[in-house]
Structure 1
Amino acid sequence: MSKRKYFDTSKSVRLSTYRDQHFKGSQNEQEKRLLSSSTLYVGNLAFYTREEQIHELFSRAGDVKRIVMGLDKIKRTPCGFCFVEFYTRSDAENAMRYVNGTRLDDRVIRTDWDVGFQEGRQYGRGKSGGQVRDEYRVDYDPGRGGYGKIIMQKMGQDDRMFTDPSVPVAPAATAASTAAAPSAAAPAAATTAAP
C-alpha cells in the first residue's frame, strides 16, 4: 500500500486530531492502529440511552460485533459514551459517514475512531466517576444528569435531585435567605415538588 493511499481517506472517515493520552505506545503506533481499527468511540449519548438503541442505529451501517457501554466508575451507571466494534473496517467507515452527527434520544451523537476496546476503558475518567466533560458543564442538560458535577457542588446540590423526586429541586436555602424571605421559600418548594 502506498503512503499516499494509506493517508488518503475521505473527509468523513478521516482521523480527528484527538489522541487518547492514556494510550500505551507512541503517537505513531496509535495512529497506525486508528487507521486500521474497526472500533468507534461514540459520545454525547444521553445517560438513559440503551445498548439496544445503539445496536439498532449502528447496525444500519454494518454488522456490529459488540457494544461496550461507558459507565460511571463509582455508580456503574451509563455516563454518555460507548464503544461500537464492527467486524470490518468498511462497516465502521460507513458508520463514520452516515451515523456520525445523527440524533439518538434527541441528542446529536459524535463518532470517532478508537484503537480498540481494552478492559477498564469503559469507565469514566472524571473525578466524580463520569466523563471529564460533564464535570465542568455549566448549562443544564437533562439528558446528561442536569448541571455539571462541579456546578452542582457549588450550588450545594447533588445529582439525586435530578433522579429522585423526593429531593427538592430548589437550591439549598441559607440561614440569611430564609430569614429575609420566609414566605417565599415555602411556595417555591411546593411548586417544584408538584408532578
Structure 2
Amino acid sequence: MASLFKEQSKLSQYWDRRFPGSQEEFEQALLASTTVYIGNMSFYTTEEQVYELFSRAGEIKKIIMGLDKNTKTPCGFCFVLYYSREDTEDAVKYISGTILDDRPIRVDFDWGFQEGRQWGRGRSGGQVRDEYRTDYDPDILLF
C-alpha cells in the first residue's frame, strides 16, 4: 500500500541527541531538509572529491567538512547542502554505500546544518566513532 510519509527508520539511521526539539520535530525537520550527512569518510578526502561525487545527484549549495575541534583537520564526515529536496533524496538513494577514497561512505538525511556542528564531538576532538576504529592513528597529522 502506498504511503504519504516515509518511516523514520528510512529517513535517518541516527537520532541527533543535540537536536533542539522533540522526536516528532526531528522527523519533520528530516522530511523537509535539503542537507545530507556523509560519514565514514577518509581523513584524506578533499572537498573537491566530495563535490565531484555529490554533484551527480544535483546542484550543491554548500559543502561543510567536519573538522577535529582541537587540530582543525578533517575527521571523517561532512555535510552537503542541496538546493532541492529531490536532489537530497537522490544523494541518499544512489550515493550511500559508494566507495570514496577506499571507504564505503554512509549518506543519511540530516536535519540541517547549524554553526558548531562541523566540529567532532569525541573526547579527542574528532568523531566519537573514531575512538573505536582499529585503523585510527591520532598521531597522524594531515597538514
Asked if 1 retains the 8 angstrom alpha-carbon contact of 2:12 and 2:110, the reply is no
What TM-score, normalized to structure 2?
0.91
Gaps of 5+ in 2: none
How much does 1:87 deviate?
0.3
**In structure 2, what is the equivalent of residue 7 of structure 1?**
6
Aligned length: 140
Q: CA deviation at 1:72?
A: 0.2
The answer to whether the aligner puts 1:39 opposite 2:30 as a matched pair is no
Deviation at 1:135, TM superposition (A): 1.1
Identify the residue that residue 94 of structure 1 maps to in structure 2.
90
Shift of 1:7: 2.9
Deviations 1:124-145 (A, max 9, x none): 00011000001122x2x2xxx4
Show CA shifts across 1:20-67 (max 9, x none). Answer: 000001110010000111100000000010000000000001001100
Report matched runs for 1:117-136 at 5 Å.
Answer: 117-136=113-132
Provide, for residues 91-121 of structure 1, a one-character-per-residue CA deviation record: whole Å limited to 9, x for no partner.
0111111111001111100011101000000
Query: How far is the alpha carbon of 1:8 from its aligned partner?
Result: 6.7
RCO (CA 8 Å, sep 6+): is it higher in 1 or 2? 2
Q: Runs ≥4 in structure 1, deviation > 2 angstroms?
A: 6-9
Choose which of 67, 88, 92 in structure 2 pairs with 1:71. Answer: 67
Task: Give the distance between the partners of 1:16 and 1:85, measured in 2 at CA.
Answer: 16
Distance 2:141 2:13 in 1: 36
Tell me, which stretches of 5 or more residues in structure 1 are unaligned? 147-158, 165-195
Which secondary structure state, in structure 2, belongs to the residue aligned with residue 7 of structure 1? coil
How far apart, CA to CA, are the structure 2 residues paired with 1:114 and 1:131?
16
Higher Rg? 1
Establish whether residue 18 from structure 1 lines up as the match of residue 24 from structure 2: no
Q: 1:93 to 1:163 in 2, by over 3 A?
A: same
CA RMSD of aligned residues (A): 1.9
User: Which structure dedicates a bigger proportion of its chain to helix?
Assistant: 1
Output the TM-score relative to the length of structure 1. 0.68
* Structure showing the higher strand proportion among its residues: 2
